[in-house]
Amino acid sequence: MAAMTSPVRVLVVDDDALVRAGLTMMLDGASGIAVVGEAADGDQAQAAVDAHAPDVVLMDLRMPRVDGITATRRLRARPRPPEVIVLTTFDTDDNILHALRAGASGFLLKDTPPARIADAVRLVAAGEPILSPRITRRLMDRAAVQAGAYSRAKATLATLSKREHDVVVAIAQGQNNAEIGASLDMTLATVKSHVSHILTKLALDNRTQIALLAHDAGLA
């Protein structure tokens, strides 16, 4: 970053005027950063990017009219997109994953120390994605849980016969008994018998649990 001759241009997008003012004051006082504009929601962000050509957008999530996820997706679809750092108090797994899938290069919580927010702006402008340590741990824990669920589901389904396995896949695809019979060339009575045996073998209570197990095993 020492080689950069011009400051990182930042746009602050948040529906809370006090938050915008605080971030602007903090970042304008940081070395190598200049706040070039503000916007009160995701809709205004489009025009603000046109007007100010920021390098990095600090984006809130929950805003009126156009939320931060939608705004991030739109900005990242532009021919010369700015980098986006989501800065929010809402750190649910869905918010994190939706933001990253929309193209955000960073995800920080609003209680992040000011110096770290400034560092994140510089890093993202230089092409380095950034996540707060708490978010990184959340994603790692989620991945571990999903990996464990996958392994357990595969092992559980391995106890089924080939035909029972085919019925499980059909159930996961949303087929009813008649449709399963037609697709697998079985009588309705045979399908019902297979479903009953599957529930007993796997110690499950209903078809929904069969479908969820198939999903965990990557079959749907």
The set of residues, in sequence order, having a beta carbon less than 8 Å from that of 132 and lying 6+ positions away, is: 107, 108, 109, 112, 116
Question: Which pLDDT does position 130 carry in this prediction?
Answer: 83
3-state DSSP: the chain helix, strand, coil percent, rounded to 5?
A: 55, 15, 30
Question: Which pLDDT does position 205 carry in this prediction?
Answer: 82
Alpha carbons 32 and 81: distance in angstroms, whole number = 20
Q: What is the pLDDT of residues 196-216, one digit of tens each?
A: 999 999 998 888 788 878 888
Which among 178, 155, 168, 163 is positioned nearest to 199, based on CA atoms?
168
Residue 160 CA to its chain's centroid (Å): 34
- Please give the share of the chain, as a percent, with pLDDT higher than 90: 59
DSSP state of 97: H
Alpha carbons 37 and 215: distance in angstroms, whole number = 45
Q: Which long-range contacts (CB under 8 A, 24 or more apart) does 73-81 make?
A: 73/102, 73/103, 74/42, 74/46, 75/45, 75/46, 75/49, 75/103, 76/102, 76/103, 76/104, 77/103, 78/49
Alpha carbons 95 and 69: distance in angstroms, whole number = 8
- Res. 152 pLDDT band, cuts 50 70 90: confident
Q: What is the pLDDT of residues 77-95, one digit of tens each?
A: 999 999 999 998 876 767 8
Burial class from Cβ neighbours inside 10 Å (0-12, 13-18, 19+) for residue 18 reads exposed
CATH 3.40.50.2300, the chain: domain bounds: 8-131
Question: Which pLDDT does position 90 carry in this prediction?
Answer: 75
Which among 218, 1, 202 is positioned nearest to 210, based on CA atoms?
202
Element (H, E) at 158: none
| pLDDT exceeds cutoff 80 at 1 | no
| pLDDT exceeds cutoff 90 at 97 | no
**In the predicted model, what is the mean pLDDT of residues 102-131?**
89
Question: Which pLDDT does position 11 carry in this prediction?
Answer: 98
Q: Which residue has the higher pLDDT, 5 or 69?
A: 69
pTM: 0.65
Does domain 8-131 sit in CATH 3.40.50.300?
A: no
User: The domain at 150-216 falls in which architecture?
Assistant: Orthogonal Bundle (1.10)
CATH 1.10.10.10, the chain: domain bounds: 150-216
| pLDDT exceeds cutoff 80 at 23 | yes
Alpha carbons 138 and 94: distance in angstroms, whole number = 11
Tell me the two tokens of residue 72. Answer: 């991030």
